Every structure is written in C-alpha cells, then in structure tokens.
Chain A
Amino acid sequence: MTADAATVRAAVDAAYRDEWGQVVAVLIGLTRDWDLAEDCAQEAFATALTAWRRDGVPDRPGAWLTTTARRRATDRLRRDAAGRAKLRQLAVLAREPDESAAEEIPDERLRLIFTCCHPALPFEARVALTLRTLAGLSTAEIARAFLTAETTMAQRIVRAKRKIADAGIPYRVPPAELLPERLASVLAVLYLIFNEGYGEHDASRALTAEAIHLARVLARLLPDEPEPRGLLALMLLHEARRATRVDDGVLVPLERQDRSRWDRALIDEGVAVLDDALALRRGGPYQVQAAIAACHATAPGPEGTDWPQIAALYAELARLAPSPVVELNRAVAVAMADGIPAGLALVDELTASGRLDGYHLLPATRADLLRRDGHTAEARAAYEEALRLAPSEPDRRYLTGRLNAL
C-alpha cells in the first residue's frame, strides 16, 4: 500500500505539528536525555517520509513515530558501554515496543511543559525551550522570532538543558501544592509566545498559532483547571481580530476596526471555551481578560459595547493582578461608562503616581480623552508627548494621523 509524495508530505507535516512534542516528551521520559530525545524524534520524522511512501501512512502516526524514535534511542545507546549501562537501568526502554498492541501511550507533554517552564530557569530560556521541545521550532526559527542571534539562542537552550540535568529539575507534573505557582509560569510563557506573534505586523501567524496550539493541549490535559481555558479563550478572541489591527502599516484602534472582518468562528469558539472555564467557578486573571475581550468581540460596535461591565471587569483584574497598565485600561472603560471627566481623573492620578512614566500609551490615552471632551490644545500637547515615546512605526503613524486630524 504505497502513498504518493504529496499525501505523505502532508501527513508528516500534520504529524510534526500534532505529535512532535509528544514524541520528544515520551523519549525524555524514557531516557532523561533531552538531546538524544530530540535527535531521535528528528530521525523518526525523517524516516517517516520514506517509510510511509513505501508502506502507506499508518493508522496512528503518533504511535508509529514514537516507536521508531524509541528504537533509534535504543540503537544509539547500545553503541557504547556507557549507553549499554544506561539501557540496563532503563529496563522499560530495552523492552521491544509492540507496534500492534493497542496500548495507548499516555500524553507525556504535561510533564515536558512543566519542566520547560520551571521557575529555576531564566524566563527567556523557558520560552525558548518550550518552543524548541514542545512546538518543534528550530533554533533558527526561534532566534528569528525573538530578533536574537541564532548562536545566542542556541546557547540559551543548551544552558537551560544543562541546568535541568545538573540542578536536578524533576521531570514531572508538579504536585497539587505547587501547581498554582507552576501553572502561572506555564501560562505566562504561552501568553508571551502569543503576544510576540501578535505584535508582528506582517502576515506571519506562526507564533500565535503555536501558542494557541499549546494552550489547547494544556487546556485538554488539565480539564479541572480554569485558567488554561481562560488563556486559550483570550488568545482565540484576540486572534479573531488580528487581521483588522493594522491597516497599511497604521495601527487601527479597536473602535475603528472593521468588525465585519473579525473571525466569527474564532469568536464563537473563544466565548464557548470561556464559558467552560467560568463554569468551574474559580476566577483568575486570564478568565477576566478573556471576559473583557469577549465583551468587545461580541459587541455590535463601540456604542453598543457594555462599558460598565468592562469597567467592572478591569476593577476585578486590578484586584487579581494589580498593575498600572490595568489601571490605565480601567480609566478608558470608566470614561466610556461614566463620562470622560471620570476617566480623565483616573488617568491624572496615574500620571501623578509616576508609575507609567515613559509609557507612550499614558499620554496617548489622555490625549484621546481630552480630544473627545473638546480640549484641543491640551490634546495636541499630549499627542506630541506620546509621539516622542512611541516605540513602533505603526504607533507613530497612528498618533501622527490623530494629531493632524485635530
């Protein structure tokens, strides 16, 4: 039963996306050797290209790949004395895997993701390691995404793997008492990956797609935890609006985005996932942020938006995860719900506190509120200040447009 090249290529690509992390996770579980696990996974996918053409695509590509990678690992370890000694310790690996057996390999990715995101690793290394070992991105791809030299990124990953081995970071899902703290680290890593992709103004969806994929896996593997679903919902609701965020290199604010171009299927899914999370009745910052995103995504337009609800949600978020940026967003919602003077008063408080000094969205927000309230001269000064602080070209183009329209 042979298969044509295009079918096999597509099947291997799909398996790479869906199974890479699992194959690597199983191999690390068996050998505790991260490099060996990655090399053998790589070889298994390469072998699949020829084997699947000859024999057809297997019914369970993941099981085929895992078995093949496992055989590779055994072969490689047999080559030298140290490897043979290790094989004797790893009795489970030495046992010949039975392809035909219906034995389901449990999903090992949870152990892998918690290890990659261990707080004893530097945050940047957690992000890189997660993208490398779970999502299967190459070091070059990760380096490009984070505008880092490939050698720097490679070194970061090597050091992280070395620390896992040398410091004895356990390869496991943390016990219940550590889960909240450790899960927060995993969620922060996935959200950073998403935001890194979301900030891209070109058409590349790679990082947002990887983050959503990993969040789906996490949400499925931790069905009793509401926050992974909250994060997944938040990502889906943001992703739905992505195409309308920038127009011709100029940032488009929410109220001016073309809502007919928002992705309805993603919004519906995001809302459904959020409902599942909320049904668990344990709130958290990602669920609140997703609820805010859902208010925007399901509103018919800026006027039909439930601003009092959004203001209340920001107040809740400020309580769960206090930050001056959250306060700034709350000020905007309050301005929309209770009138511009109420919002401006909150912005002025923030300005006086100095906690957002140098952050361009502080004067930009103030400028927008002043403009709407008819204070043109003050608005102009605030836009000019924001323009001086704005970090990116789309931001500057947007602010220049506003300034010229005054």
Chain B
Amino acid sequence: MTDRNYLLYGAVFLAASGAIAADHFNHANANPPAIANPAPSAGAGNGNPCAAANSGSNPCAAASPCMANPCGAAGSNGNPCAGYNPCGAENPCAAANPCGAYNPCAAASPCAVSNPCGAFNPCAAGNPCAPAMSNPCAAENPCAAANPCGAYNPCGAAGQ
C-alpha cells in the first residue's frame, strides 16, 4: 500500500463529508432567509434582475419567490420580495439587468442554475405573464404588496 495515496484521499473524503454534512444541517432546516438587498449601485452591473432595461418582460420573473414556494407550507415569514423591492428608496430597477440580455433560465446563467423558472417558465413559449390561473402562486402572491408590475404593465405588448 505504500505506492498509493490512500491516506490523503481518506483525509480528503472525511473532510469533504464533514463540510457537506455541516452545511446541510446548517441550511436544511433554516427558514428561507430574505434575500439581502443588492449592494448599492455605483453604476451599471450590480446584478439587479429588475433592471429598467428589461422592460419587455416581467421583472419579477427570474426572481419569482414562487420558485421557492413561499406560498407553500414551508413559506417564509415575510415578503420574500422585500429584499429587492423595485419600489424601494434606492430603486434597484435603475441598474443594468444582467439577466436582461440573456436567458436567466440557462444552465450556466448566474441568474438561475436550479431553474427558477421551473414552476412557471418565463422562457417557455407561453406568456409568463399569463392570467393568475396559470400561476400557482398568484392567489397568494407575496409579491402583490410590493408588485413592481403594478406601476407599469410588463405584460403588455412587449411582454415575453
């Protein structure tokens, strides 16, 4: 066995297993936290998915809290949209939208790897701004109170 790195790999495996277990137990039972506000923008490119440039589609689509099922039994205690309320004082909608230019549902997209569009796909052929009946979260949409779609209709003629 002296010609093999069994000890090294054993140690790596144990360390990795411990780290994964610790991470899982730390996060598995935690309430879904409100997503922190994006850092104040000093210019374009702070990653705000609600950019004004993305006026042709539902600015909440890629960031829909319905993906994390806040309407479900394990839903959050507060408005999951609170963290990025485009109606807030700093108006994060002003910044450039990193998701605007490309498909936020793409596998390698920084906006979604676990497919935030899974439940209602804004990238599907159908209109993501379809009536509430096709949006399973619409009836109790936690975004309603801070609905950035309220002030202007992203589901107008230019909607995806």
Do the two chains belong together in a single complex? Answer: no
